[in-house]
Amino acid sequence: MKITLNDEINQFLNRCLTNIMNDSKNDFVGMHITKKNEKKVIKMLADAGIPEFQDIKNCPSLFLSVDEWENNPYHKNIHLDWIKDSHFTFERGKISGFELFNSDVIQKDPNRELNDWMKLRAMDRNFDALYLYQDDMDWMFDAPSEANTNDIPAQRAHGKVLTFGLGIGYFLYMAIQNPNVEEVTVIERSKEVIAMFRNFILPQFESTKPIHLIEADAFDYFNEEYLSNFDYIYTDIWQSSQDGLPLITGLLEQCYLPKEKADFWIEDSCLEVFWTLIFLYFESLARNKELEVNPYYQTYIEKIAYYFEHINETVSDVETLKTYMYDTNISRSILSIKLDRL
């Protein structure tokens, strides 16, 4: 692929570089907020360039209602006392209100120019949540951020569903209530998590739809032959976007899955850095400059270069570059490339 460096593309590259340099969304996480200073904080978020606060008169409230959250079906119906084995613990704990947190997956910049943003919110009071700890590290908990990042995949689920990763069973609980879902198979590598789920959480499920629990590693089952048995596939085996991207990459190298058939938990959050790497490759290509990145990302750059080197196209418009940067199936195709087999 070649890129024609015209005025339109040159200005696009400059805007993206500015957005990368001015990215300050993480600066607001944990900020204390009250009803009195909410407007002031919204003004700060607007000044930082976060898209949803650019229209001050019509922007959303920063507060989420605990009362509304407590009507969440899982949070309302699943009740556990303190449970513990040698490695895993289920425990109810307090979550502080009035502190900004990322309440959802990363939100794509509507202009597709790398001004991607967090949906920053605060609860309007303290509340209880169910935590799953692994050796004192919190792995999952039933809070709005978990719900917001799992509810849409649960709504997209249909037919015979396969999910990799069990956790506290939030996705499973929501998916099994979906009238379009016939049954769910769960692959979870921890026999302790499966045992605690089967003994304490599963009996509280109202649905009688078939649920199959398999103790195994996701990588042992992530192949075309096995995945072809299911209509919808969901994967949630990482703790955050930091470990998510390499795990998504490893899975896709074993078997490419299109967005139409499968979802990965917080995929856009995991891909945010990948969109930037694609952009940096485009910028180096358009401006005929050497591309230097952190060695950690070198393999991703090599995949990106291989993919676009095999596209016989000269791009002279910004929209095409934006599509290449932000299209989920294109990103998955690039990540699925096996460099050691080329």
pLDDT in tens, 225-276: 999 999 999 999 998 999 999 999 999 999 999 999 999 999 999 999 999 9
CA distances from 286 to 7, 170, 299, 321 (A): 12, 45, 21, 11
d(CA 163, CA 161): 7
Mind spelling out the 3-state secondary structure of 199-230? Answer: HHHHHHCCCCCCEEEEECCHHHHCCHHHHCCC
∠ CA 27-33-34 to the nearest 5 degrees? Answer: 170
Range of the domain at 274: 270-341
Looking at the structure, do residues 87 and 214 belong to the same domain, yes or no? yes
Q: 310 burial class (0-12, 13-18, 19+ CB within 10 angstroms)?
A: exposed
CA quadruple 154, 156, 162, 164: dihedral positive or negative? negative
In a domain, 1, yes or no: no
> Does 20 have pLDDT greater than 70?
yes
CB 88 within 8 A of CB 132: yes
Residues of the chain above pLDDT 70, percent: 99
Q: Say which amino acid occupies 252.
A: L
Nearest to 319, CA basis, from 116, 114, 117, 111: 111
Mean pLDDT of 156-176: 96
Note the pTM of the prediction, 2 decimals.
Answer: 0.93
Task: Say if 300 falls within a structural domain.
Answer: yes
pLDDT value at 313 more than 80: yes
What average pLDDT does the structure give for the chain?
93
Q: What's the pLDDT at 293?
A: 92
Q: 20 and 153: one domain?
A: yes
Structurally, the chain folds into a number of domains equal to: 2
Rounded-to-integer distance, Cα 318 and Cα 338, Å = 29
| Contact call for residues 15 and 113 (beta carbons, < 8 A) | yes
Report angle CA 203, 206, 210 to the nearest 5 degrees: 80
Same domain, 172 and 282: no
What would you report as the CA-atom Rg of the chain, rounded to the nearest whole angstrom? 22
Q: Which of 212, 243, 269 is the last residue of a domain?
A: 269
Please indicate, yes or no, whether residues 277 and 163 belong to a single structural domain of this protein.
no
In the chain, % of residues over pLDDT 90 = 81
Residue 80, pLDDT score: 73
Predicted confidence (pLDDT) at residue 140 exceeds the cutoff of 90: no
